[in-house]
Amino acid sequence: MTTSRRDFIQTSIVAGGALSLGMLGCSNGDVRRARNPLRILILGGTGFIGPHQVEYALQRGHTVTLFNRGQTRPHLFPEVEKLRGDRENDVEALKGREWDVVIDNPTMVPEWVQLSGEVLKGNVQQYLFISTLSVFANDGAVGTDENGELCVYDNEKGEVVTGSAYGGRKVLCERAAEEIFPGRTTVIRPGIITGPGDPTMRFPYWPVRIDRGGEVLVPGQYEDPVQWIDAQDMGEFAIDLCERSVYGIFNTCRPPFPIGEMVEDIREGLGVDATFTWIDDEFLTEQGVLRQVNTLMSTAVRMPAYAGYNQYNCDKAVAAGLPIRPTGVTARDTLDWYKSEERPWGRQITAEREAEVLKAWHERGV
């Protein structure tokens, strides 16, 4: 499939999502107002994913209230009502207030969900919880949908039974929300989240590196799968589900696609001159750099215990209108943000070390 064909398909998906939202051109800020504005309470709202929810909700004409400790970027959204408190022990500011929807951004503490939920349960119609694909116990299963086996965590003993502690505690959070808001809970399960504001270098590594041009080292094979979601798309999806009062659980990532297509789409989106050299896992391991360049774990497909890591089934979310902007758009947005923030390179491979590994690879006559 050509790059232009891929972008056509991706743009069509975005347009489909736009139509379901009743708006057009969301990527350029041309967003139509919602027919029935909501009162939305967002728990958090000033970290990574929250601001994308807030911005889109405001564009749609909703009234937004933020509840947090006021410690992370309190200067954001001066026009929005801000309630101060602590999810651990102080939710006094939420008492006696009513909202149509509450969006609970990442927490892995079920007691926090219980504390805020008990205060809000009679005063909120819908509870939307941001969970994670890490709730699944078996990363080796390819194509896991929303009904996959879940992690088990003994909260009283603080012990993992199956899966991971992170995933197991998220499962407990999901259940706490459903117990307090039976039949009125929406759960979004993202995998890798990226886009402007991404505090990791998992996806940002690629637009930043490809923007430098030249010969780019890519781990594994062209067809190795990657899977992630742009935080902007996830924010729009969350608000859309709230506007339509859609309940249930959604694996929320773009469908898996080859890392080879990803890097080509990034190159085209950035309009730079770059070539790609694929180097196998074994050689990169010998060179001690596999973890530095395998930021999206695309090569995990050859590890039985992680073969399904980048291959979760997200058909339900796509059918429900999940917007998926072209990779090149996400790359440009992420790169612009990265440059404006002057973020550190992190633990990723340096340009000098990458050149050394490429030289050694070519000297092998491969």
Sequential pLDDT tens for the chain (366 residues): 433 334 433 443 343 333 333 322 334 457 999 999 999 999 999 999 999 999 999 999 999 999 999 999 999 999 999 999 999 999 999 999 999 999 999 799 999 999 999 999 999 999 999 999 999 999 999 999 999 999 999 999 999 999 999 999 999 999 999 999 999 999 999 999 999 999 999 999 999 999 999 999 999 999 999 999 999 999 999 999 999 999 999 999 999 999 999 999 999 999 999 999 999 999 999 999 999 999 999 999 999 999 999 999 999 999 999 999 999 999 999 999 999 987 878 889 999 999 999 999 999 976
User: How many angstroms separate the CA atoms of 280 and 287, rounded?
Assistant: 11
Three-class SS state of 17: helix
Where do we find the tokens 């590890």? 303
Q: Of 48, 11, 297, 329, nearest to 193 (Cα)?
A: 48
- Identify the pLDDT of residue 29: 55
Three-class SS state of 86: strand
Query: Computed from CA positions of residues 194, 195, 200, 202, in that sequence, does the dihedral angle turn out positive or negative?
Result: positive
Three-class SS state of 44: coil
Spell out where the chain has E strands: 39-43, 63-68, 81-84, 99-104, 124-130, 152-154, 159-162, 185-190, 192-194, 214-219, 225-226, 228-230, 248-252, 257-258, 274-279
Where do we find the tokens 């965590």? 153
- Identify the pLDDT of residue 207: 98
User: How many angstroms separate the CA atoms of 240 and 60, rounded?
Assistant: 10
Q: How many residues does the chain have?
A: 366
Which residues touch 346 (CB under 8 Å, ≥6 apart)?
201
Determine how many CB atoms are found less than 10 A away from the CB of residue 89.
10
Q: Order the strands of the 99-104 sheet from edge to edge.
A: 81-84, 63-68, 39-43, 99-104, 124-130, 185-190, 248-252
For residue 186, the one-letter residue type is T
Q: Which two tokens stand for residue 359?
A: 């030289």
Q: At what angle do helices 231-243 and 3-21 cross, to 10 degrees?
A: 30
User: How many angstroms separate the CA atoms of 256 and 27, rounded?
Assistant: 22
Q: Which two tokens stand for residue 106?
A: 């990442």
pTM above 0.85, yes or no: yes
Alpha carbon separation from 301 to 48, 139, 142, 149, 157 (Å, rounded): 28, 10, 9, 19, 34
Residue 169, CB-side half-sphere exposure with 13 Å CA sphere: 16
Query: Computed from CA positions of residues 72, 74, 78, 83, in that sequence, does the dihedral angle turn out positive or negative?
Result: positive
User: How many angstroms separate the CA atoms of 174 and 170, rounded?
Assistant: 6
Please answer whether residues 226 and 261 qualify as being in contact, where contact means their C-beta atoms are separated by less than 8 angstroms: no
